[in-house]
Amino acid sequence: MEDLGEKFLQVVIALAIFAAIIGFIMLLVDRAPKSFRDKATIIGFMAPAAILLIVGMVWPAAQTTFLAFTDRNGAINGLDNFIWMFTDPSALVTLRNTVLWVILVPTLSTIIGLVYAVFIDKAHGERVLKALVFMPMAISMVGAGIIWNFMYAYRGTGREQIGLVNQILVWFGGEPRQFLLDAPGNTFFLIAVMVWIQVGFAMVILSAAIKGIPADVIEASRLDGASAWQQFRNITIPSIRGALVVVVTTITIITLKVFDIVRTMTAGNFETSVIANEMYTQAFRANEPGRGAALALVLFLMVLPVVIYNARVLKKQKEIR
């Protein structure tokens, strides 16, 4: 109890000293000239965020960049980790899979979400239909992986199937398949899970953008004799271009960082690994932190252009408004 009391007293004294220092600094600032006081106020407000940014992002990023040029013993090995990444067959499969994810997931999610948003706009039961599509967004990536593990579950030929997809195949006279084991098709079945989740996000954003199109513009196009396809191509798409960019770039960034689905469903085995999963595998399973850091650096460089493009588009839209 005495030790606890002493520690508590030390904490109180430390807080009192800290408060006294802050009070003294504020007193000096208050008595300083106005120009200096304004600058000090700005620095004071920005300093906590800047410190957190440096400690939480800048410093770890610098450490990771340095680690990418070292071997498992911490010795500098130049570009060996990057050479491994672009020459090793398994690493090349990882890069190929990542490219497939980045191309297919944003494209399919956006197209399906847009089609759904257009066709159920102002339809009977619109709220219920949208809620059903958006519901997967409320499920965690791990939860979605577990759900689809059951969907793809396989039992041998002639046995009762517990996986819905294989049961449907059996109903139509086909043979059950091991969807998650047969490469390279298993990657596409994993991609389907991500599309299933992201369609709801795309649908909600694009539906809101479509509802924001002025009704008089659409009515004028009808009076001019424009068909439904012409309205969609010449009015809807140009009007929601900003929302489309946001949806595509957001889903692209999420897809580049995908880890949970792959880790939960296949652990990256059977040629299904992606960069984020392989980064974890190399750093924490294969005892190759340098390779993991190199993969992390490449992943960052892949995400960066998408973020910059998104920021530029939003800036242009803001200037137009």
Residue 74, Ramachandran bin (φ over 0: left; ψ between -120 and 50: alpha; else beta) = left
Evaluate if residue 156 carries a pLDDT over 80.
no
Evaluate if residue 75 carries a pLDDT over 70.
yes
Residue 291 or 314, more confident: 291
pLDDT single digits (tens) 98-125 = 999 999 999 999 999 998 888 887 677 7
Q: Closest Cα to residue 242, out of 213, 216, 214?
A: 213
The hierarchical CATH code for the domain 83-320 is 1.10.3720.10
- Whole-angstrom Cα distance, residue 25 to residue 270? 61
Evaluate if residue 191 carries a pLDDT over 90.
yes
Domains of the chain by residue range? 2-67, 83-320
Evaluate if residue 1 carries a pLDDT over 60.
no
Over residues 15-27, the mean pLDDT reads 67
| The predicted structure's pLDDT at residue 34 | 59
- Whole-angstrom Cα distance, residue 22 to residue 256? 44
| The predicted structure's pLDDT at residue 188 | 94
- Whole-angstrom Cα distance, residue 167 to residue 77? 52
Phi and psi torsions of 76, nearest 5°:
-70, 130
Total-model pTM: 0.81
CA dihedral in degrees (258, 264, 267, 272; nearest 10)?
A: -50
The pLDDT-based confidence of 154 (bands split at 50, 70, 90) is: confident
C-alpha to C-alpha distances, 83 to 62, 77, 109, 273, 297, nearest whole angstrom: 21, 11, 34, 18, 14
By mean pLDDT, which of 48-52, 211-215, 249-253, 268-272 is the weakest? Answer: 48-52
- Whole-angstrom Cα distance, residue 163 to residue 143? 16
Evaluate if residue 29 carries a pLDDT over 60.
no
| The predicted structure's pLDDT at residue 119 | 83
